[in-house]
Amino acid sequence: MACIESLKYEIVLKGASFSECREYIKKNCREVLTVDPGTLLFEKPIIGIPPVFIGLDGDTITFPYTKPCYGTFLLRTENPEEALRLRKMPRK
């Protein structure tokens, strides 16, 4: 597992609202997980307005990422280990 800054990721949306992130994930990802804010993803707590959606397509994870100075990004990255860990988490 690696922290987000060290991942190779693609920026899907920039300066997005959480409802825009949810909408994108619902429309474009095969599996949708609903998690609570504070859930660890790549060793960092997810910041967000509930419900927070994470999208999965095979080993590809699409997720919102918020930074205090830059707002919210929707990122996409491939990480088999983290995708497996997410699938094993209890579903809401």
* C-beta of 37 vs 78, nearer to other proteins: 37
**Does 18 interact with other proteins (rule: CB under 8 A)?**
yes
If the CB atoms of residues 38 and 80 are measured against other proteins, the closer one turns out to be 38
CB of 58 to other proteins, least distance (A): 28
CB of 35 to other proteins, least distance (A): 11
The full 3-state SS of the chain, as one line of letters, equals: CCCHHHCCCEEEEECCCHHHHHHHHHHHCCEEEEECCCCEECCEECCCCCCEEEEEECCEEEEEEEECCCEEEEEEEECHHHHHHHHHCCCC
Dihedral angle sign, alpha carbons of residues 91, 76, 83, 71: negative
User: Which residues in 31-60 contact other proteins (CB under 8 A)?
Assistant: 36-40, 44-50
Span from 23-31, 53-61, 63-71, 84-92 in contact with other proteins (CB under 8 A): 63-71
Q: By CB under 8 A, name the binding residues for other proteins.
A: 15, 17-18, 36-40, 44-50, 66-72
